[in-house]
Amino acid sequence: MKAYGRLALAAMAALPALSCTPDWATANNTPFILEIASITPSPLRSDVERLNNAGQPTVFNDDVSVSVNVFRKNNQPTLGTTPVEHVYLERYEVRFFRSDGHNTEGVDVPFHITGPLGNLRFHTASPGGQGEVEQAVAITLVRHQAKLEPPLKNLAFGGNEDIITTIAEITIHARTVQGGVLEARGSVQVSFADFADQ
């Protein structure tokens, strides 16, 4: 009975140590960490319609530049690098949220989207020094189609609402040459409205 009690105490003592392990150490089995360092512009004003040169209403994409870093978990200068450590950016996702909790897609916020990144390749950084590499990736945050669907089309021509403010969460998905999975998340505020044409 005493042996069981000691085992139970040892198991309970080990639980806090397990809970302190960071997510990147348990969810990512690669030697690297992927990070979204910045999103530009931030915040973003998204015009739901604009007059073209002929005076006709038109819609357009809203693109952002996402700075993505790859760096090593272990940055010891004695480590070497090989081509099999390259990291490929494969695709991205964008989901929209509102701080008031009204998050129904196609009613309160635009539908989520996914898009390819063309297997953009990172030559991973050599160990030591900064130990990281960075690339600027252009992605479409708001597509044409979103402005032709509710709730954004309801804003055109001074529609039912004046403005919708959302948080766009961007997830970048990547893989190593060896098949390891990486992802990074970042967010940017997006305000949708029928802004005055300049």
Domain ranges of the chain: 29-193
pTM for the predicted model, two decimal places: 0.80
Residue 105 scores a pLDDT above 70: yes
Give pLDDT, residue 24. 47
Q: Tell me if the domain spanning 29-193 has CATH number 1.10.10.
A: no
Cβ contact 97:167 at 8 Å: yes
pLDDT in tens, 186-197: 999 999 999 876
CA angle 97, 102, 105 (to 5 degrees): 65
